[in-house]
Homo-oligomer: A and B are copies of this chain.
């Protein structure tokens, strides 16, 4: 561990401590530098921005999520999915205040920390493989052709769960937890519906729509198309 790495850690830990004690927005880069006993500029040597610190935290948490899912007990898909989400939320809870700051930055186009941006591509693919394991490891895993779209939809849902959880104003984010229970129930019932032939096709279509956005195969937003001219699509 070089001297630089040690300094980076010191800065990172100082940042996390401040974030969780007084929130992300309320924490100053100057405070972090002071806590880490270094100059303001040095913090920017190791972290491109304040947002990047929250992103670094998120990366660490993704790795933990990976391990948690790997050690998930086999069982029906609905339970595996809900347990994974519940475990994730439980582990994320201490960092909620910090992660809230990430969201607002993660939705800003052009930001380095943009959720669907290029920078976070590897992180997204990593998350996709995590959810893929949730599907393939289920005792009632559906036929292989639906694995990929299911994975995509699970990841999309996961983004929504996190977003909702961060916004949930109820004490202890109670509503989010109830929503997970509800989702588990629905997903269990959906199993029967999914046996029908045409539902599989729907699943695949949905996956084809969303998948490219996550894997990064989608073309970037072209400025060539003038705004104000929405496509006249009507099935």
Contact = CB atoms under 8 A, between A and B. Distances in A.
22 contacts: A25-B108, A86-B230, A90-B230, A94-B228, A96-B227, A103-B107, A107-B107, A107-B166, A168-B213, A169-B213, A169-B220, A171-B224, A172-B222, A172-B230, A174-B231, A175-B212, A175-B218, A177-B230, A177-B231, A177-B233, A179-B209, A181-B235
Interface SS of chain A: helix
A221 interface: yes
A185 B233 CA distance: 13
Nearest to A108: B104
Interface string A17-48: 00000000100000000000000000000000
How many subunits of this chain does the assembly comprise?
2
A75 interface: no
Interface residues of A, number: 61
A89 interface: yes
